[in-house]
């Protein structure tokens, strides 16, 4: 028989009875749970308040920084010519600037025609047009000489093309090559020579730089042979061969190495990627290399072949140096000042914190570019900081009001706010109010109340509002130092006082933090109490359960004995 079944022997539902006893014994736990729930809500409310106070503290710290009120607004009279900026240390005033020369970058222009000639002599029978080292490769097709079409193939030699010209024009036009100048000349026996037509399909005339002259002959506009940038140095058609398997050169003291298997483009890229401070380029039209300083100003470009002769082959070691120019300017009619860039800074002007970026780099037809820069107090940032402070202050007071106020429902039931009984919350609200609403003593200026800035209480609660914004604008425009003193005076300023109060409230050792720690400990203590009570409840439940099982056991035995006696009595009577 399973005696754990409630009332199986006794007929008494003792399990329900035990559960009822357990519920009664758990009543103190329910009271503790309710108390703990209130404490948790209170702690959450304080956490929200702490977060809002921290936001307010950020706004207060901004106002306690005196630099906020020293911000400068710099404005150029002509924003197409210049832009300006200033720091808090820049002297106020107007600065008339006259620029008589703009800064340019220095450059080293290599000698013309470092590329080898098409041919060492007038014989061009070995020059194949499709592979000739020209700036623009010749394309196959037709071109026109004096109204006659000449067909050219990429496999033709230059001499074969000359012969085709003669044949097409019945000998009236002849072509020749001058190895000394590396140029082609077309000559007509008499009359004007006319080159090209709208139907030409080959670029032979353009690639060889032959243009109409209006006379009976035409000569290439410049030397034809150029350096082949995409070829290895050993095969790049330099007039002076690059000697050696590898080498090194320096630009502005920075070493750059090369191998004769490198392409010209790779070497130029190595220069541009280095710290030499120059940009290396190649001028296809004039067949020359150029190094240009990446920064402007009258500074040099130093080059040196250390091993090998790359710079010499490229015409750079014997090139022409074009000096850069400094920016020349004056301020308020003073002495001429220099800057290596097209920017005016404190370093060159001597005006602390002033920077002017020129947006034009040409004088045009005028002898100078003239404009002015006005440096005034920038009140927009301090005004916004004050507004932001008021917003966050009012949020704190509104939050405290919501947590401490009582509400009444339609049936007249009054519900107290979660922090209604907490003096800490009310104390924070009153301390903030008393700090801001009174007179600030110990200041040297004429402003010692927030009311002097058009700020006053709303009259209905602890909030503040900007009653008259024009009063604030006037104070910032005419008494910025007094406004600064009102907030950021190192001992008496409102922001300094509030910062100290907030730090004592929400700082690591602040009163609000300590109070939350106390509440957290109370919540933890209740957890311990409820656990202890639950252990007692479970112990009592086990004791009662054991007692009733023992009762069921005894009742079962009695029932068995009674059944046995009843059987004996029945047997005897029969």
∠ CA(443), CA(446), CA(451), 5° rounding?
Answer: 95
Asked which of 166, 194, 219 is the last residue of a domain, the reply is 219
Asked if the structure places residue 270 within a domain, the reply is no
**160 and 140 Cβ atoms separated by less than 8 Å:** no
| Whether residue 79 sits in one domain with residue 197 | no
pLDDT tens digits, 59-101: 999 999 988 999 999 999 999 999 999 998 999 999 999 999 9
- Residue 536 sits in a domain whose CATH number is 1.20.1330
- Residue 255's φ and ψ, nearest 5 degrees, are -80, 140
| Whether residue 160 sits in one domain with residue 58 | no
pLDDT band at 574 (very low <50, low <70, confident <90, very high): low
Ranking 370-374, 383-387, 434-438, 498-502 by mean pLDDT, the lowest is: 434-438
For residue 517, pLDDT beyond 90: no
20 or 187, higher pLDDT: 187
- Residue 282's φ and ψ, nearest 5 degrees, are -130, 130
pLDDT band at 3 (very low <50, low <70, confident <90, very high): very low
| Whether residue 502 sits in one domain with residue 356 | no
Asked which of 219, 251, 283 is the last residue of a domain, the reply is 219
Provide the whole-model pTM: 0.67
| Whether residue 179 sits in one domain with residue 149 | yes
| Whether residue 343 sits in one domain with residue 210 | no
pLDDT band at 423 (very low <50, low <70, confident <90, very high): confident
List of residues 6+ apart from 156 with CB closer than 8 A: 128, 129, 130, 164
For residue 6, pLDDT beyond 70: no
Provide the mean pLDDT of the chain: 90
Q: How many domains does the chain have?
A: 3
Three-state secondary structure of 475-502: HHHHCHHHHHHHHHCCCCCHHHHHHHHH
| Whether residue 78 sits in one domain with residue 32 | no
Asked which of 203, 219, 235 is the last residue of a domain, the reply is 219
Ranking 3-7, 24-28, 111-115 by mean pLDDT, the lowest is: 3-7
pLDDT tens digits, 367-404: 999 999 999 999 999 999 999 999 999 999 999 998 88
Tokens (6 digits) for 223:
């030397």
Asked if the structure places residue 236 within a domain, the reply is no
pLDDT band at 10 (very low <50, low <70, confident <90, very high): low
| Whether residue 166 sits in one domain with residue 97 | no
pLDDT tens digits, 179-188: 999 999 999 9
| Whether residue 507 sits in one domain with residue 391 | yes
| Whether residue 368 sits in one domain with residue 396 | no
Tokens (6 digits) for 556:
């079962």
Asked if the structure places residue 126 within a domain, the reply is no
| Whether residue 85 sits in one domain with residue 149 | no
Asked if the structure places residue 117 within a domain, the reply is no
| Whether residue 397 sits in one domain with residue 371 | no
pLDDT tens digits, 323-368: 999 999 999 999 999 999 999 999 999 999 999 999 999 998 999 9
Enclosing domain of residue 84: 72-103+326-377
Asked if the structure places residue 456 within a domain, the reply is yes
26 or 307, higher pLDDT: 307
pLDDT band at 570 (very low <50, low <70, confident <90, very high): confident
Asked if the structure places residue 246 within a domain, the reply is no
| Whether residue 569 sits in one domain with residue 509 | yes
Asked if the structure places residue 560 within a domain, the reply is yes
pLDDT tens digits, 300-321: 999 999 999 999 999 999 899 9
Asked if the structure places residue 31 within a domain, the reply is yes
Longest Cα–Cα distance in the chain: 170
- Residue 184's φ and ψ, nearest 5 degrees, are -105, 140
**How far, in Å, are 53, 394, 447, 496 from residue 487 at the CA level?**
18, 18, 10, 7
């Amino acid at each position: 028989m399973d005696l754990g079944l409630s009332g199986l022997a006794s007929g008494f539902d003792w399990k329900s009875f035990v559960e009822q006893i357990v519920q009664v014994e758990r009543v103190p736990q329910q009271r503790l749970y309710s108390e703990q729930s209130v404490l948790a809500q209170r702690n959450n409310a304080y956490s929200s308040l702490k977060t809002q106070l921290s936001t307010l503290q950020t706004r207060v710290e901004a106002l306690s920084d005196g630099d906020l009120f020293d911000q400068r607004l710099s404005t150029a009279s002509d924003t197409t010519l210049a832009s300006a900026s200033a720091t808090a240390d820049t002297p106020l005033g107007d600065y008339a600037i006259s620029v008589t020369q703009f800064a340019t970058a220095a450059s080293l222009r290599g000698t013309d025609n470092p590329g080898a000639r098409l041919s060492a002599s007038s014989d061009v029978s070995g020059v194949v047009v499709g592979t000739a080292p020209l700036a623009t490769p010749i394309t196959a097709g037709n071109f026109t000489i004096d109204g006659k079409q000449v067909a050219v193939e990429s496999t033709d030699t230059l001499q074969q093309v000359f012969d085709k010209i003669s044949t097409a024009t019945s000998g009236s036009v002849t072509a020749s090559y001058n190895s000394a100048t590396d140029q082609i000349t077309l000559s007509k026996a008499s009359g004007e020579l006319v080159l090209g037509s709208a139907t030409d399909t080959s670029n032979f005339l353009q690639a060889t730089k032959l243009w109409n002259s209006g006379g009976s002959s035409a000569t290439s506009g410049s030397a034809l042979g150029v350096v082949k940038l995409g070829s290895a140095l050993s095969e790049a058609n330099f007039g002076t061969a690059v000697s050696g398997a590898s080498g090194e050169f320096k630009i502005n003291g920075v070493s750059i190495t090369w191998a004769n298997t490198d392409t010209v483009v790779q070497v130029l890229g190595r220069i541009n990627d280095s710290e030499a401070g120059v940009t290396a380029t190649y001028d296809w039209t004039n067949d020359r290399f150029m190094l240009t300083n990446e920064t402007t100003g009258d500074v040099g470009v130093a080059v040196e072949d250390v091993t090998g002769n790359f710079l010499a082959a490229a015409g750079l070691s014997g090139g022409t140096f074009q000096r850069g120019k400094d920016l020349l300017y004056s301020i308020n009619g003073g002495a001429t000042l220099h800057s290596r860039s097209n920017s005016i800074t404190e370093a060159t002007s001597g005006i602390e914190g002033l920077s002017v970026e020129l947006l034009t780099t040409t004088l045009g037809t005028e002898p100078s570019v003239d404009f002015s820069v006005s440096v005034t107090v920038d009140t927009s940032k301090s005004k916004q900081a004050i507004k932001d402070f008021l917003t966050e202050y009012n949020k704190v007071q509104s939050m405290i009001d919501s947590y401490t106020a009582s509400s009444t429902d339609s049936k007249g039931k009054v519900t107290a706010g979660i922090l209604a009984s907490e003096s800490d919350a009310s104390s924070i609200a009153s301390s903030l109010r008393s700090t801001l609403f009174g007179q600030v003593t110990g200041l040297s200026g004429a402003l010692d109340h927030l009311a002097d800035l058009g700020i006053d209480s709303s009259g209905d609660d602890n909030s503040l509002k900007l009653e008259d914004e024009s009063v604030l604008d006037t104070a910032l425009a005419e008494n910025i130092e007094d406004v600064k003193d009102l907030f950021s005076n190192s001992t008496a300023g409102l922001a300094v006082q509030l910062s100290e109060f907030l730090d004592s409230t929400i700082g690591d050792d602040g009163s609000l933090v300590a109070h939350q720690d106390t509440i957290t400990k109370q919540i933890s203590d209740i957890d311990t109490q409820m656990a202890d009570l639950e252990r007692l409840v479970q112990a009592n439940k086990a004791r009662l359960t054991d007692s009733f099982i023992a009762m069921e056991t005894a009742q079962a035995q009695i029932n068995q004995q009674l059944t046995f006696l009843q059987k004996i009595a029945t047997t005897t009577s029969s």
